[in-house]
Chain A
């Protein structure tokens, strides 16, 4: 029983720390900043940087 009690306490403490972390991470600021930047660049896209061999971007033909 001691083992189970100890295990329970250990996990409870761990999850308590994670819960505190989750609540303390202020995402309101992040959301505001993202909204701000996307209010004048409205068509925002996910910023990825995968290796690509082809020139798949803009080609301006004359």
Chain B
């Protein structure tokens, strides 16, 4: 255990080279900030989405033609309800309406609990409509006519994650807006009380209708968990940024023990510092820098994501065409934060301590004479 005097002297020497250490500190904080922010946002979104699929039906059936979504009719409902194990089949209306003036897609969702002319819209939809002065009512332009609907309610802000681009209408109104027939459905919700039969039932559905897609609840949950899987696209860019910064950092760390610093180690050795003392000195200095940088990076990420709702970065996850006022619920994955700590702090320390040890064991008599 090092004496208080030794620790204080280590900090004194740290401040002597404060510019070099400050550079390492800032870069490391930045890396931790980027990684933690990404982690916080994706975990928070996943948590909310998992809440939203609690009522997910056991199987969701969609029809396709030429690889595109295609409507279904009552015959589908009849055939599927005849499959053993199926307790109920519900047809729903769901689709997208192109808001040409703003070049945006609105997600039209049929909700049977609404009245025929009732309309609930999401926050992003409200803002988009308001920009073109659709404050009280909205006009849907279809092939055949214009449908006028009053804006009754705005979906609660807390549901933005699933409602931001949504317009909830009575199913028949939705059909009119989407240009569907009265007996047509976009999706079928199939209830299968026995979870062990879900697999069989979905296979049978596809047997009857080969062009149909049958998604189970398990598939949906798995899709949510893999939504921001650390592989694709923009994540690679973020990680490359973090990696490049990390190499700059490591290079800086190595330079902390070469040049003038090499002589400094020799001087300390000549005054009675043994090899272990030199290593302890570098360890203390760089632990202070790396741990502070880590704590600061994580704290800044928390503040950025959960207090300021991650401006700019959230557009990477959610898109920026529609204004998104989502608020992130604090979700902290301690395991991953610990991994970031381990894979950050350990190399940070190693890239200083190893060269320092190498210099400490070398002949000091020549170094102190120069």
Contacts and interface: CB of A to CB of B under 8 A. Distances in A.
Interface string A29-45: 11101110111111111
A15 B162 contact: no
B32 interface: no
A58 B186 contact: yes
A30 B55 contact: no
Contact of A40 (B113, B302, B303): B113
B69 interface: yes
Given A1-B8, A60-B71, A34 B52 contact: yes
Instruction: Categorize the interface residue count of chain A.
Output: 35 or more
A57 B306 contact: no
A1 B4 contact: yes
Contacts of B302: 18, 22
B65 A61 contact: yes
Interface in B163-222: 163-166, 168, 178-180, 184, 186-187, 189, 220
Contacts of B7: 1, 4
A45 B96 CA distance: 13
A60 B319 contact: no
B162 A7 contact: no
Given A15-B299, A18-B302, A34-B162, A60 B70 contact: yes
Interface string B124-156: 100000000000000000000000000000011
Given A4-B288, A25-B330, A49 B165 contact: yes
Given A43-B187, A47-B318, A7 B329 contact: no
Interface of A: 1, 3-4, 7, 11, 14-15, 18, 21-22, 25, 27, 29-31, 33-35, 37-52, 55, 57-61
